[in-house]
Amino acid sequence: MEMDVPYAIKISGVKKKYRLGQIGGGSLVAEVQSRWARLRGREDPNQRVGAKNLTRGDVMALDGIDLEIGQGETIGIIGANGAGKSTLLKIISRVTSPTEGEVDIYGKVASMLEVGTGFHGELTGRENVYLNGAILGMDRAEVTSKMNDIIDFSEIGEYIDTPVKRYSSGMYVKLAFSVAAHLDAQIMIMDEVLAVGDAAFRRKCIDKMRALEQQEGRTILCVSHNMETIRRLCDRCVVLSHGRLVFDGDTSDAIAEYMGISGVFSRHCEYPEEMHRPQPNRRLVIERADFGESFAGQCEEGGTIDFSVTMRGYEHNPGDYDVRLRADMVNSFGNISGMMFSDVVYTLRPGETVTLDVGMDCEHLTPGVYQVSLYAYTLSDTGDMTMLDMIDNAFVIEIISGGFPERWYKNWDGRLRLHKLSVKAVQHLVKGTI
Amino acid sequence: MNQKTMPHTHITAKRGLFDLHPGEFWEYRDLIFLFVKKDLSIVYKQTILGPLWLVLNPLMTTLVYTVVFGRIAKLSTDGIPQILFYMAGNAMWSFFSESLIGTAGTFRTNAHLFGKVYFPRLTKPVATVITSAISFLIQMVLFSFFYIYYAAKGMVSTEPWRLLLLPVILILMGGMALGCGIIVSSLTAKYRDLAVAVGFGVRLWMYATPVVYPLSTATEGIMRTLLLINPVTQLMEAFRYCILGTGEMIPAGCVWSAVFTALVLLLGIVVFNMTEKDFMDTI
């Protein structure tokens, strides 16, 4: 689709300020009282005692965002909770207005900040499709012409004329998503809506979005906490942090940036006692992890990484523990690919410091960067883990391909390469001619 | 491929006083229709009598009015059969009060919807008024049966051309209710206490309007002046003038009602527009 507009969306210097705490007096009387007092230069009767000289707490949900999105681009927005992702989408969707800055949009926008907005339980599926379609900006003729496609896509079938309150939650979201997916808009804005239904339906949704983008040149903006969705759908990705745009570029790099996986490999990692740990009541301190001088952070598929871990037991330990080690392998999707557990490593005695030589067998790990978290724990009789110390993101390693002829496609082939299929015998039922 | 020209949207922090987009509003006419359809249909889903309530409700109210105001209080009805007088008054007032109370809650009851998707917000209150107008028209059908019965007995008569006034009265009445309603809804987006006031405010307003009594009860003095200041008074009287043949048509009153409607609607739209931009942050 060739258009003479250079971009679909242009965001310039957008800021959004939210006030913390209660807004206004809460009631009209209180507000009038406050205004009247201010007018006469008196003290505000509704102000908290002692709060006089404090300015009201403001928070910048968005603190100057500049972003240009081209026609037909598929762009992901990622960031921690509260980074401003949803606020940005709300401003582009015109649900709320910016405090400062401007947004220019060329093309009809369909925003899905939620699936099934405006669905009413008493109405049938079909009636809701019309209503929801109209809310999202479709007219009746348009909905009618797409009704069959919508029903097909949603897999609802004959239930379309049943009130949606009788639907299972899965059916409900499937129908709702189908409506949104069939909108005839040049720009689609999605906030976490691809996380609907079962795995098969989710995949179908992403494929549908992909197809819209490729065949019809739709521009798609997508917010998700699911890195897999972002990776499959988006070519470009921006990372928001505290209302600012901190990264803009290739999706893989953006995800790596966001996950903190882009960390540089270090041969000697120290974990000082005052470093933040997820679990405060620890019994020992993992002090450091060291790699051999010849190791550069990379390991071929199927190889083993050797390193040493030094830990010290606290003086005030109530008793002896059988210490075990655990390593969580967090992949670049932000998911745990798998964990490795050790047998009993040694028995911890108060005040003791030990260094362990550890071998990490990377047999099943597929190529990519992994963030390794290192935990020391002990097991109860019933198999429950008691954490002795936890180091999140202890170090970063990279598995490089080698040793296997097949190329590994993470998006489709999974995260771990399992054992080889063993073919025990070949029986020829019909002999070939040559 | 899509050959339509690209619509351009410009979003800024500034807000215009009349940021109305009539074209956009027109594009969403299907939405108004669907809102009306939804409002009308969901009320009567899973009920025993269903849409019969649309008729039963005014019938019962009329009977109660006839007993209380007619038989016990013995209020004048300008010689009109009491059933007809109260049924007409109740139908028109219900239209006004349902529209007003319904639109007054626009922001609060639709906060979730408005917070998730953009569409011209005014479609919602307009749909509310249309819904009330439809239930008014259904009551008028019921009314016409009673009217034919009493007209056959020679107890009531009006001239058919006067019915042409009915659409004008309805538009003015609906416009006034819409204007008042969206002003209140804009204010209640921030101040909750107004929401409580609306309910009983409208109930009191009914007694300050010639609904269960005609304007002719107050022939002169302060009472009559006060009644005529109320912009709904002339519309109620005009309504009775048009369907019952009684009721006073005072030119100044008509102008006042029309001017008031235009002003309150204008103010309403301005306030509503100012509120809709960022009410999500305050509600």
CB-nearest partner of B30 from A90, A106, A139: A139
Helix (H, G, I), strand (E, B) or coil at A124: strand
Question: H or E stretch including A247?
Answer: strand A244-250
Is it the case that residue B263 has pLDDT exceeding 70? yes
Q: How far apart are CA A5 and CA B274, in angstroms?
A: 31
Q: Does B7 touch chain A (CB under 8 A)?
A: yes
Is it the case that residue B143 has pLDDT exceeding 70? yes
Higher pLDDT residue, B96 or A54? B96
Give residues 109 to 128 of B whose Cβ lies within 8 Å of A.
Answer: 112-119
CB contact under 8 A, A95 and B31: no
Task: Answer yes or no: is the ipTM higher than 0.90.
Answer: no
Q: What is the pLDDT of residues A353-383, one digit of tens each?
A: 899 999 999 888 888 888 899 999 888 888 8
Helical pair B165-188 and B231-243, crossing angle rounded to 10 deg: 150
Q: Token pair for residue A148? A: 């069959």
Measuring CA to CA, which residue among B26, B204, B176, B31 is closest to residue B100?
B176
Measuring CA to CA, which residue among B127, B101, B258 is closest to residue B181?
B101
Measuring CA to CA, which residue among B265, B260, B102 is closest to residue B175?
B265
Residues of B in contact with A180 (CB under 8 A): none
CA distance A95 to chain B (A): 5
The pLDDT assigned to A335 comes to: 78
**pTM, entire model:** 0.74
Q: Does B10 touch chain A (CB under 8 A)?
A: yes
Q: Token pair for residue A32? A: 């009038």
CB contact under 8 A, A113 and B13: no
Mean predicted confidence (pLDDT) in B246-252: 89
Q: Kindly give the residue spans of alpha helices, DSSP state H, lying in chain B.
A: 22-27, 29-42, 53-65, 82-104, 106-109, 111-116, 123-152, 165-188, 193-207, 221-229, 231-243, 251-282
Listed as ranges, residues in chain A with pLDDT below 70 are 1-5, 20-28, 31, 35, 38-39, 41-57, 260-264, 279-282, 410-412
The pLDDT assigned to A96 comes to: 86
- Map out the domains of chain A with their CATH numbers: 7-23+56-259 (3.40.50.300), 268-403 (2.70.50.60)
Residues of A in contact with B183 (CB under 8 A): none
**Strand A187-191 relative to strand A109-112, pairing:** parallel
What is the percentage of chain B residues whose pLDDT exceeds 70? Answer: 95
Q: Kindly give the residue spans of alpha helices, DSSP state H, lying in A182-311.
A: 199-216, 227-233, 251-259
Is it the case that residue B279 has pLDDT exceeding 90? no
**Do the Cβ atoms of A216 and A1 come closer than 8 Å?**
yes
Helix (H, G, I), strand (E, B) or coil at B50: helix
Q: How far apart are CA A107 and CA A219, in angstroms?
A: 9
Q: What is the dihedral sign for C-alpha A368, A371, A375, A380?
A: negative
Band (B2; pLDDT cuts 50, 70, 90): very low
